[in-house]
Amino acid sequence: MPEYKSRINVRVRIDQQDWKKLADIKTKEEWKLDESVEEIFIIARGGFIKTDDWSVDPKTLEDLVKTFAEIAGYEKCVIIADVVEQNVENPSGTSFLALGNQNFISISYLNSDKLNETNISDVCEYLKQIDFELSPNDIYYLRQNFDEFTYDDTNGIDVVIPEGRNEIIEREFEGDILVKSVVIPDSVKSIGPRAFYDCPILNKVNIPHGITEIGWFVFHGCKNLKEMVIPDSVKRIGDCAFYDCKNLEEIVIPDSVESIGDGAFRGCINLKEIDIPNSIKSIEECAFLECINLKEITIPYGVPSIGELTFYGCRNLKEIVIPDSVKSIGEQAFWGCKNLKEITIPYGVPSIGKSTFRGCKKLKEIVIPDSVKSIGECAFFDCINLKEITIPYGVPSISESTFSGCEKLKEIVIPDSVKSIGDQAFWGCVIKEIVIPDSIESIGDGAFSECKYLKEIVISDSVKSIGDYAFYRCKDLKEIVIPDSVKNIGDSAFEDCENLTIRAHKGSYAEQYTLENDIPFEEI
């Protein structure tokens, strides 16, 4: 009896209702599968590979492949399998393929060396190694079902738009996974929204002079697009125009462009530098969000604002120049720019939004101009190298978690315009001393929690309440004077302050609190 070495790789793409069909396949004894089909697909969910110590003859393997393909639906599966004779002088082999069309393919090899060298776990590589030439329909199907499938980009289509056309309509090439390059004639004066949306192998396209706007989502998801020259007729780069163009490395923006839309270059993870011309008057939200390799950028004078999330997640951004024309910086604008070392906020900016500089781990110092009248929640959260900061007069409150996690923050000056200190505002800072000005009425929950080196704090007689866990685990705090104005101290406000004595007037709320919480008390 001849011996065989057998392998199979099954990939299915079916709806939930179709899973029962596969589960109901009756496993045949001659298939020699260790588990039932139902168990195989429950474990492997979406497909399975079997290669080790498996021996079935060509006829049995053919039956197995055909059964799976017919029940799952040829259009919903990709199956590659092969069987090679063993222990014979000139071993032969056979490949069985079902590649998303209605054809079952069998290829026989008189010499099995080619099959022995293949890697069946990688569909794309396997097909290359056996020199199997795919049809355009096969390529189309495989690219739809395998995100990384790039069998051979020479199989892509080069598109030439005929001279005389004046527009590329909305969604004209959307989702076309075969188009590789596009030549657009000068007669074309407009490119519609989503025209080339999600063309995964598109690597070359020209934008003719005369185009005035690159519309929204035009090149979204064109993952192979590496460079782009924008003609000087273009005035606007629209929302998400180049969103998720992961391989875009270089782009030249001419000085005709006046605005960069919302998310225009979002997710362009290989974009390292970009020159923004002086003609730009507007950079909208998320414009460069998660451009993780962008290292430096200069915002031209004339731009009035930096929108929300504009540079969010630009983790290699080291330097940015913000001109005096900028009057607002949006929420989360620089969140996660962990290599940003310094930044100057121009005079005229009235507010720093929520989480604006959150996670800027290398930011050591920042000058906040007197024009700033509000600082949002978590504005400097987790800026672990920030050492000192001065809050300008006019800021009415220090918001929740504003400086939370700033583990090197040693000095801070709080002006007497501040009326409240928010929850966890200075959590985990290394402040040694702080003066609470006589404008402050409340200290929030956990405001100075985990400030382990805080030795001295002066609470003014304007303070009426101290929140829960306000000074939790301030282990170096030995003494605090609580004025008679304080009428409420929250739960665990001084918990784990091992060396603390509270000083207050006899009969005060503070004295009663010490008695109830077993904290040493000293009368003043």
pLDDT at 519: 95
pLDDT at 146: 59
Mean pLDDT of 384-405: 94
- Where do the H-state alpha helices sit in 45-111? 58-72
Contact 511, 505 (CB under 8 A): yes
pLDDT at 71: 82
Q: What is the pLDDT of residues 311-361, one digit of tens each?
A: 999 999 998 889 999 998 999 999 999 999 988 899 999 999 999 999 999
pLDDT at 316: 95
Pick the more confident residue, 141 or 377: 377
> CA-to-CA distance for 344 and 334, rounded, in angstroms?
13
Q: Which of 340, 286, 300 is nearest to 317 (CA)?
A: 340
Can you spell out the DSSP letters for 331-344?
TTTTTT-TT--EEE
| Tokens 């009415």 sit on residue | 396
> CA-to-CA distance for 487 and 96, rounded, in angstroms?
82
Note whether 322 and 432 are same-domain residues. no
| Number of neighbours of residue 264 by Cβ within 10 angstroms | 25
> CA-to-CA distance for 177 and 144, rounded, in angstroms?
8
181 domain residue, yes or no: yes
Contact 397, 421 (CB under 8 A): yes
pLDDT at 10: 85
Mean pLDDT of 166-172: 93
* pLDDT of 39 higher than 70: no
* pLDDT of 231 higher than 80: yes
Whichever domain contains 491, its CATH number is 3.80.10.10
pLDDT at 200: 87
Note whether 30 and 141 are same-domain residues. yes
> CA-to-CA distance for 108 and 97, rounded, in angstroms?
12
Q: Which of 92, 114, 145 is the C-terminal boundary of a domain?
A: 145
Contact 448, 470 (CB under 8 A): yes
Pick the more confident residue, 321 or 408: 408
Note whether 39 and 91 are same-domain residues. yes
Query: CA-based angle 307:312:317, to the nearest 5?
Result: 110
* pLDDT of 28 higher than 80: yes
| 282-283 and 259-260 strand pairing | parallel
* pLDDT of 397 higher than 60: yes
Note whether 320 and 224 are same-domain residues. no
Note whether 169 and 285 are same-domain residues. yes
Report the half-sphere exposure of 367 (CA within 13 A, side-chain side): 8
Note whether 255 and 186 are same-domain residues. yes
* pLDDT of 174 higher than 70: yes
409 domain residue, yes or no: no
Mean pLDDT of 300-309: 93
Q: What is the pLDDT of residues 418-472, one digit of tens each?
A: 999 999 999 999 999 898 999 999 999 999 999 999 998 989 999 999 999 999 9
* pLDDT of 45 higher than 60: no
Q: Which of 276, 212, 196 is nearest to 244 (CA)?
A: 196
Residue 400, judged by CB atoms within 10 A of its CB (0-12, 13-18, 19+), counts as buried
pLDDT at 63: 93
167 domain residue, yes or no: yes
Can you spell out the DSSP letters for 120-165?
TT-HHHHHHHTTPPPPHHHHHHHHHH-TT--S-GGGSEEEEPPTT-
Q: What is the pLDDT of residues 57-95, one digit of tens each?
A: 999 999 999 988 888 788 778 889 999 998 888 889 999
pLDDT at 76: 78
- Where do the H-state alpha helices sit in 224-275? none
Contact 448, 469 (CB under 8 A): no
pLDDT at 379: 97
458's CB contacts (< 8 A; 6+ apart) are 434, 435, 436, 481
pLDDT at 102: 66
72 domain residue, yes or no: yes
Structural domain span for residue 141 = 3-145
Q: What is the pLDDT of residues 188-204, one digit of tens each?
A: 999 999 999 999 889 99
Pick the more confident residue, 490 or 114: 490
Per-residue b or e along 52-84, where b marks 16 or more CB atoms closer than 10 Å to that residue's CB: eebebbbebbbbbbebbbebbebebbbbbbbbb
* pLDDT of 249 higher than 80: yes
pLDDT at 321: 84
463 domain residue, yes or no: yes
pLDDT at 75: 78
Note whether 288 and 320 are same-domain residues. no
Q: Which of 252, 268, 294 is the C-terminal boundary of a domain?
A: 294
393 domain residue, yes or no: no
pLDDT at 130: 85
For the chain, how many structural domains are there in total? 4
Contact 146, 122 (CB under 8 A): no
pLDDT at 38: 62
395 domain residue, yes or no: no
Contacts 24+ apart (CB under 8 A), 367-371: 368/392, 369/345, 370/394, 371/347
Mean pLDDT of 295-316: 93
Query: CA-based angle 17:22:28, to the nearest 5?
Result: 160
Note whether 9 and 121 are same-domain residues. yes
pLDDT band at 143 (very low <50, low <70, confident <90, very high): low
403 domain residue, yes or no: no
Contact 361, 385 (CB under 8 A): yes
pLDDT at 170: 95
191's CB contacts (< 8 A; 6+ apart) are 167, 168, 184, 207, 211, 214, 215, 218
Note whether 419 and 462 are same-domain residues. yes
Note whether 442 and 355 are same-domain residues. no
pLDDT at 256: 97
* pLDDT of 117 higher than 90: no
Note whether 141 and 12 are same-domain residues. yes
Q: Which of 145, 172, 197 is the C-terminal boundary of a domain?
A: 145
pLDDT at 208: 96
Note whether 288 and 341 are same-domain residues. no
